[in-house]
Amino acid sequence: MHLQPIIAPSILAADFTKLGDQIKICADNGITWIHCDIMDGHFVPNISYGPMIVEAARKAYPAGFMDVHLMIYNPDQYTDAFVKAGADLISVHVEATPHLHRSVQNIKNKGIQAGVAVNPATPVQQVVPILSDIDLVVLMSVNPGFGGQKFIDTTYERIHELVEIRQKRKLNFRIEIDGGVGPDNISALYKAGADTFVAGSSIFGANNIPLRIQELKSLLHSGTT
């Protein structure tokens, strides 16, 4: 089973002095998902932004799908605020909450989609009990905290593991790859079975953003043939 591929630009790498314009460029070039990285300076060694920026992104792209990745402890405490800000999907880290099932239900009870993110050194097996309840697994392909890091190659084995479980159990959660994704690996990742691709620096760091988006799209297209 191959789900329709989705590119989710991470605004962490955007130019915040013109965030709205950069999001509109994405929308004008067929991007439907916007990835928002929330960092608390505790779970990860960096602080990014909170619900206000998600709300701004939502305003810039009312029809967009706001994919919110919480790299924070106590995610339950903030679910409401991100839902109000316009999140369509919220992912929590398996390593950041002691009651993963409750955290996922808190999100689903708000009527939006839920995801679970997994760090590179966390066994994929840890999310198996929750897979039938969620819409997305965020497979971290870098250690979370910063954009622009090098892709970790063992991610491929982890994609295979998840794809096998998904097939066996006839589930349909998306597999999102987050970190170090760009023209060099997007098509290999799609072939390996991933379907949702976060791209921060490879999109917003490009000289020509529309051209880079088209390039990533055509690489995904060639991956299907």
Instruction: Count CB-CB contacts under 10 A for residue 109.
Output: 11
What ranges in the chain are assigned the alpha helix state H? Answer: 19-28, 51-60, 79-85, 100-108, 155-168, 186-192, 201-204, 209-224
Cα gap 182→198, rounded to integer Å:
9
Catalytic residue, candidates 37, 40, 67, 195: 37
Contact region for Zn ion (CB under 5 A) — 26-34, 156-164, 175-183, 187-195? 175-183
C-alpha distances (whole Å) from 46 to each of 9, 163, 177 are 19, 31, 20
Is residue 30 a contact residue for ligand DX5 (CB under 6 A)?
no
- For the chain, report the end-to-end CA distance as a whole number of angstroms: 14
Strand order in the sheet with 174-178: 6-9, 196-199, 174-178, 136-140, 113-118, 89-93, 65-71, 33-39
Rounded to the nearest whole angstrom, what is the least distance from the CB of residue 221 to ligand DX5 in the complex?
20
**15 belongs to the catalytic site:** no
Cα gap 108→137, rounded to integer Å:
15
Rounded to the nearest whole angstrom, what is the least distance from the CB of residue 66 to ligand DX5 in the complex?
14
DSSP state of 142: S
Amino acid residing at 88: D
Name residue, tokens 């369509």. Answer: 88
Catalytic residue, candidates 40, 135, 178, 195: 178
Q: Which is nearer to ligand DX5, 113 or 202 (CB)?
A: 202
Rounded to the nearest whole angstrom, what is the least distance from the CB of residue 119 to ligand DX5 in the complex?
10
Contact region for Zn ion (CB under 5 A) — 1-9, 20-28, 34-42, 166-174? 34-42
| One residue of 144, 156, 162, 220 binding ligand DX5 per CB under 6 A | 144
Is residue 183 a contact residue for ligand DX5 (CB under 6 A)?
no
DSSP state of 76: G
Binding footprint of ligand DX5, residue count (CB under 6 A):
22
Is residue 45 a contact residue for ligand DX5 (CB under 6 A)?
no
**28 belongs to the catalytic site:** no
Q: Which is nearer to Zn ion, 37 or 135 (CB)?
A: 37
Q: Which is nearer to ligand DX5, 6 or 171 (CB)?
A: 6
Is residue 145 a contact residue for ligand DX5 (CB under 6 A)?
yes
| One residue of 72, 201, 213, 220 binding ligand DX5 per CB under 6 A | 201
Do residues 120 and 141 make contact, with C-beta atoms less than 8 angstroms apart? yes
Enzyme catalytic residues: 37, 178
**Could you list the residues that contact Zn ion (CB under 5 A)?**
37, 69, 178
